[in-house]
Each structure stands twice: as C-alpha cells, then as structure tokens.
Amino acid sequence: MTQEHVLEIQRITKRFAGHVAVSDLSLSVPRGVVYGLLGPNGAGKTTTIRMVMNIIIPDEGVVRLFGDDLGGRHHSARIGYLPEERGLYKKMRVRDTLVFLAEAKGVTRAAAAGKADLWLERLGLADWRLRKVEELSKGMQQKVQFISTMLHAPELVILDEPFAGLDPINAQTLKDIIVELARGGTTIVFSTHQMDVAEKICDHVCIIARGSKVLDGGLSEVKRVHGGTHVAVAFEDGGDRAVGILGDRSLVAKADDYGPYAELALADGADPQDLLERLVRSGARLRRFERIEPSLHRIFLDKVGVEAAQPGAEVASA
Amino acid sequence: MRKIWAVVRREFLERVRSKWFIISTVLGPVFMIGITVLPALLASRSGGVRTMAVVDWGSGAFGSRLVAQLGTGNRFNALLLRATARDTAAVLDSLTHQVQAKALDGFLVVGDVTVESGLADYRGRNVTSLRDMAILEGILRQAVVMERLTRSGIDPAVVQEAQARIELRKLRISRRGATGETGEATFVLAYIIGFVIYMGIVLYGVNVMRSVIDEKQTRIIEVLVSSLKPFQLMLGKVIGVGGVGLFQFAIWGAVAALLVRYRQVVFSLLGVPPEQAAAVMLPAVGGGLVFLVLAYFLLGYILYSAMFAVVGAVVNTESEAQQAQMPVMMLLVVAIIMFPAVLQEPGGQVAAALGLIPFSSPIIMPIRYAASDVPASEVAMSLAVLAASTLAVVWLAGRIYRVGILMYGKRPGVRELMRWARES
C-alpha cells in the first residue's frame, strides 16, 4: 500500500536552538489528492516542508517519497516546490531562468526549453521571455515563479503558503492551475493558514499546531468526525431571552454569539431537538434554526484553540 | 553531474554576456599595447629634432665645436651666432622673440667663461623636458672637457676616444644558459605576472562571493538547495566563475601572442619609428612558465573563492560583505606587500617561505619562477602544499556554506562557524 502514498512522513522531529519546531509528526499523502497542511503561523508547516525537500534534515524520523527514503533532492525532477519566500535571479532573462531551474532539478535542457515556451505562452508572458526578470512587474515575476514550479510536469507539487502576497488575479490563476493539475492526477500538497481557501480546494487536510498533528484525514471525514453538531440560530428580537439557554453548558458547548445571530456547537450527546424545544418555550422569536455543517475554519479554531489556548481563554461564549 | 553542469553553465554564460566582462576583456589588450607602445611612442615623439641657436660671445672656437657636436646626434639642429659684448642683449632679445614665435626651441649662450668655469645659459620652451636637458648637458660637458683637454695639449683624437659612450647591458643567465633577456624585461614580466594573478584571484573570488549573496538575498537559494546539494552548487559556482577567468586569460593570451607576432604592423600602424620599435624588449615566455602561471592561478583562485563563498554565505547583504571579506583580503594583501622584496631577491629565504605558504604561493611562486631559477623540487613541494590546502579549505568551506546559505540575521562568530563545520 506504500505505493499508494506519494509522501509519507513518519514521526519526524526537528529541534532548533531553544524550541521544538516539529514534534513526532506523521502524515501520509495519497496519490492524486489535494492535501492541505493547515496551521497557525509558527505551527511548523514550513519546517515540515523543508524537511520533505531535503533543505533541512530531521533530527528524528523518516520522510518517504515515492516509496523510498532517498529524499526530495533525489526526486527533484518529480517534485515542484514553491517556497514561502520567493525570488528569482534579477539579472537573468526569464526564459534562461526557467530553463536553468529545471536543469538544476535534473531535467534536460531541450525538454525544459520547449516547456518553458509553452508555459510562458499560456500565462501571457511570451513577449517577455527574453527580458530580464527585474524588468517584469511583481505580478509577472510571481507567474514566472509558478512556471518554474510546474514546468517539469512534476508528479508531486509542494506549495508553501502559495496564496500569500498574491494579487487577486494571480491568486485566481494559481488556483486554476492547481485545480487543473489535480484533475490531471498530480498530487498537490500546500500549506496555508487561510481555511476558506483550503476548504474550497482540498480533498485531504492535516491540521498542525505547535509542531504536532491535531487531526488529519479526508475533508468530509474530518468534518463528520471533528465537526460535532452545529446549529445556526437567528432571532427576530435580538435573542435576549435565549441568553440563558445558550449559556447552558450541558446543552451548548460553545457559542459564537453575535446577538441576533449565533453559531452553536452542541455539547456531546445533546440533541438539537431539545435545544429547539427549550428556545421555543423561552418565548424567543426564532427567524432561523438550522443544522449546519461546520466550516473548516470553525473546526480549526475549535481544535487549535483548545491546543494553543491557555485554560479559561477560550472562545467567548454568552 | 548534470546538475553541477547546469550551475557551471549559468555562472559562465551570465558573466561572459555581461558588460563588465566585455569591457575588461577589451581593455586587457589595449593595456598591453599601451605599456609596450607608449614608451616607444613617447621616446620617438620627444625625439623630434630640436632647432636651437648657439650664441657664442667669446672667440667663437668653442661655439663652433659645440654646434658640430650637437649636430652629430640627430636630436638637435643647431646654428651658431657670433655676438660681441655690445650687441649680446639685442641678439638675445631677437632670439627670445623667435622662441616665442616657435621658430626656435631655444638657445644656448656660451662664451670663454664656459670653458673656464663651466657656466652656460640655456633658454627655451623645452626646459622641462628632462630628456632634452640631460642630452644637452651631456653634450655640453663633453665639449667643455674636450676643449679643456685640447688646450692642455692632449691630442683631440685621444680625447674623443676616451669619451666613448659606455653602455652596461644587463642580461640574465638562467639554468638554460644566457637568455638574451634584459634585467628590466624580466622584472617587468615578473611584475605583470604577479599582478595579473592577484587581480584574477580578487576579481573572480569576489564574483563568487557576490553570486552567493545574490542567491541568498533573492531567496532563490531555497529552490536551488531543494534541487541540488549545497556542495554541488558551490562547486558549480567556483568552476563556472573560474572558467570565465580562464576564458578571459585565454583571450588575452591569444591576443598577446598575435600582437607579439605582428608587432611590426602594430608599431607602424601606431606610428612608432622602426628604430624605437626595435628597442622594445619582449621577455621570453616559456611553456613551463605558462603552465605554472595557470596552475597557480587555478589553485589559488579555488582556494580563495572557496573562502569568498563562505564570506558570501555568512552575510546578508553586499555592504555587510565589504567588512566580512577583510580577513580574506588581508591574506592576499600580505603577498602583494612582499612583492618587491621577493623581486629584489627571488632566491632568498623570505621568497622561499612565501612560496611555500599556500595563501601567498599562488602569487609569489610564479614571480620567483619568472625572475630566477627555482629548483623543481621546491616548485613541486609548493604545488603539493597548495593543492592539499585547497582541498582542505574547499571541504571546510563547503560545510560552513551549507549551513550559512539558509541562515539570515546576525552574522556568526568564528566559534559558531566552527560549530557549523563540525555538525553534519
């Protein structure tokens, strides 16, 4: 079954002077999925990706790519990597840059040159291919960077915070590329702290915080298992009469309360039907009462909040 | 291997295409022509015939002898004017006008007092020409001495013979026998070799450093390090930039060989008279010297560029590098400071020691070899020490480089560098 997993991380740990960046982390990325590595800033996402890419070496644990442990550098021709900190040679011509970066990954010159032209054409940079990188606008440079990541038709694409710092048009371009590659069977791993983006394009997610895994799995499975029971309620009268009910911890575990509108996470074993009944009895005038699927953002906040927050500093509840 | 080759190729092509490379490559031969042709050209230009008058207000015998003497060389064209004590002032006045009108370059005023007390006046436009004045003084001295001796009754023919010009030709004897090279030519050759190697190491070493800083600053290093090993990257860089150096030297060498071969054409094109052109001494450059220069340049360049790569890896910006490169520069400067001492005594103990120390041998040893005979065993020893040190430094540099290129922020101290080198 190993062959089914393009990337397997087995209990890796990385310590830097003073702190543990990644601790005993394991995860598996099945072939052909879009895999979101989610976590707050400083969770260890970049460190994990760097260990996968052989840029830094784990203190403990093993990274297996394509079924072996030879490392990202060995497989560089099969992997497209877009680091968080981006940059290109300023003085080099666009096309030369692309060909060089592909060659450095082990792709032949001739193959790289042909593909560079196709991609430049596709992203509307054909006229710029003989210009120096520094003559391009920032948005164009970002496109060149995408091309350098995808040029060699990698089987596995690893993107570290790919949407950070992109203008809306380029963000859309990149999203389109990711979706298209995913349809073509490319496995995509990307890290982000933007849950809305992850929710739209990921099949699988792994949430990490403080260097450790919080949860992972298929997106729908994660929602089912970790989502709990969520209810959205809206009141016509501002919801003053419902305050006591929403504050009942045996019924409502957590409330994201905006006054006339609230999103509630019910306590384990609590029945939404009971809640509705009590609300009706309290005389509160309901405009809406709906069981909702929790957003990834909600799950992320719930899980990471619990992990990261000090006791008592939880999400405010009314 | 293909990955290293990609880096070599990039470093080489990006540099060879740059303005900097093209300009310096063209300036090299211009400089070569300049240093050989210019002195000859200057000598011939200032060697134009000077027209002057000799005013003799004495008996006239000394004046006519002087004019004859001045006429023997082809430097002065003199005519004699007799003057009496009464009209001297008027004659000098009119001559001054002629000098101002550029009809004359100047005039020499002599009299009997010149022979007796050695006093003479020269007034002219070319008094600042040291060469003119030296020749004029020489001729005047010769004429005065001859006049005095003749008056004492010595046969003028004997005097003439006694004053025959003395010229000391300084020729170098090497192990291969008399070389026909003059001491000056050997000195200049050694100087140029040392200078070119020094400049090559500094310029190309700093290029490697800049390249490292550039990759670090633009953060492209992250993508590179995920594709190839840091050591492969460093090696590719050193080889690529070194290739540019060799390429440039090859162009210069070929142009120099052509210039030497067709020097008569070049000289006539630039208007250097044949007799001046013949006087240009070109040192003999043997195959052994060429080999040694290349070997020492290459090893020295690799040694220093590895150190420069480390400097590039531990700093964040180029301005920071200015300061951080000082220790490396100092090592090179030591060799340059000792340059004259080594030329003074190429076989001495100081020269021998500097020729063995790997940080100075790339510059000192070729100088010694060019200027004197260095035993083959000494050369072999020096090369072996240099090669071994280069390997050790490259290995150590690779270990520090690997860590440094991914570090940003505060510059590490020496102790931290050692820790990086120890850690795997």
> Is the reported ipTM for this assembly greater than 0.95?
no
Selected residue of A103, A133, A138, A145 to mutate for chain B interface (largest B Cβ count, 10 A): A103
Between A156 and B346, where is the model more confident?
Answer: A156
Q: What is the pLDDT of residues A275-301, one digit of tens each?
A: 888 888 888 888 899 888 788 888 888
Order of strands, sheet of A60-65, starting from the edge strand that comes earlier in the sequence? A19-30, A5-16, A60-65
Low-confidence ranges of chain B (pLDDT < 70): 40-48, 73, 165, 167, 170-184, 275-284, 424
Tell me the pLDDT band of A310, cut-offs 50, 70 and 90: very low
Number of domains in chain A: 2
Per-residue model confidence (pLDDT) at position B175: 62
* B219: chain A residues, CB-CB within 8 Å: 83, 85-87
Q: What is the pLDDT of residues A72-99, one digit of tens each?
A: 899 999 999 999 888 899 999 999 999 9
Q: Which residue of B has its CA nearest to A106?
A: B3
pTM over 0.80: no
**Domain co-membership, A244 together with A118:** no
**Domain co-membership, A75 together with A139:** yes
CATH of residue A236: 3.30.70.100
Residue B219 has its nearest CB partner, among A87, A103, A105, at A87
**Domain co-membership, A200 together with A276:** no
What's the rounded Cα separation, in Å, for the pair B76 and B70? 6
Inside any domain, residue A300? no
Inside any domain, residue A29? yes
Its domain, for residue A78, covers 2-223
Mean pLDDT in chain A?
Answer: 87
**Domain co-membership, A242 together with A117:** no
* A89: chain B residues, CB-CB within 8 Å: 14, 214-215, 218, 220
**Domain co-membership, A22 together with A103:** yes
**Which region among A106-115, A251-260, B161-170, B378-387 has the lowest average model confidence (pLDDT)?**
B161-170
Inside any domain, residue A298? no
Q: Which residue of B has its CA nearest to A99?
A: B6
**Domain co-membership, A9 together with A90:** yes
| CATH no., domain B46-162 | 3.40.50
Tell me the pLDDT band of A318, cut-offs 50, 70 and 90: very low
Selected residue of B227, B229, B410, B416 to mutate for chain A interface (largest A Cβ count, 10 A): B227
**Domain co-membership, A235 together with A104:** no
Taking an 8 Å cut-off on Cβ atoms, the answer to whether B227 and A87 are in contact is: no
Query: Is the four-CA dihedral A29, A30, A32, A34 of positive or negative sign?
Result: negative
Please identify, among A182, A203, A223, the residue that sits at the C-terminal boundary of a domain. A223
Interface contacts A/B by beta carbons within 8 Å: 70
Q: What is the pLDDT of residues B322-357, one digit of tens each?
A: 999 999 999 999 888 888 888 888 888 888 999 999
**Domain co-membership, A219 together with A245:** no
Residue A88 has its nearest CB partner, among B7, B14, B220, at B220
Inside any domain, residue A146? yes
**Domain co-membership, A241 together with A200:** no
**Domain co-membership, A93 together with A160:** yes
Per-residue model confidence (pLDDT) at position A314: 34
Distance in Å, alpha carbon of B406 to nearest chain A alpha carbon:
9
Contact B246, B197 (CB under 8 A): no
Distance in Å, alpha carbon of A252 to nearest chain B alpha carbon:
48
Per-residue model confidence (pLDDT) at position B142: 83
Q: What is the pLDDT of residues B192-240, one digit of tens each?
A: 888 889 999 999 999 999 999 999 999 899 999 999 999 999 999 999 9
**Domain co-membership, A279 together with A207:** no
Inside any domain, residue A55? yes
Inside any domain, residue A302? no
Find the helix or strand (DSSP H, E) in which B212 lies: helix B183-217
Backbone angles phi, psi at B231, to 5 degrees: -65, -40
Tell the burial category of B340 from Cβ atoms under 10 Å away from its Cβ (0-12, 13-18, 19+).
exposed
Taking an 8 Å cut-off on Cβ atoms, the answer to whether B3 and A104 are in contact is: yes
* DSSP of chain A: -GGGEEEEEEEEEEEETTEEEEEEEEEEEETT-EEEEE--TTSSHHHHHHHHTTSS--SEEEEEETTB-S-TTTTGGGEEEE-SS----SSSBHHHHHHHHHHHTT--HHHHHHHHHHHHHHTT-GGGTTSBGGGS-HHHHHHHHHHHHHTT--SEEEEESTTTT--HHHHHHHHHHHHHHHHTT-EEEEEES-HHHHHHH-SEEEEEETTEEEEEEEHHHHHHHHH--EEEEEESSTTGGGHHHHT-TTTEEEEEE-SSEEEEEEPTT--HHHHHHHHHHHT--EEEEEEEPPPHHHHHHHHHHHHHSPTT--S---
Residues of B with a Cβ under 8 Å from any A Cβ are 2-3, 6-7, 9-10, 13-14, 214-215, 217-220, 222-229, 406
Tell me the pLDDT band of A2, cut-offs 50, 70 and 90: very low
Whether the per-residue pLDDT at A181 is higher than 80: the answer is yes
**Domain co-membership, A196 together with A96:** yes
| pLDDT (mean) for A27-42 | 91
Taking an 8 Å cut-off on Cβ atoms, the answer to whether B222 and A85 are in contact is: yes
Tell the burial category of B315 from Cβ atoms under 10 Å away from its Cβ (0-12, 13-18, 19+).
buried
Inside any domain, residue A310? no
CATH of residue A34: 3.40.50.300
| pLDDT (mean) for A35-56 | 91
* A54: chain B residues, CB-CB within 8 Å: 225-226
Q: What is the pLDDT of residues A4-27, one digit of tens each?
A: 799 999 999 999 877 899 999 999
Residue B226 has its nearest CB partner, among A72, A96, A108, at A72
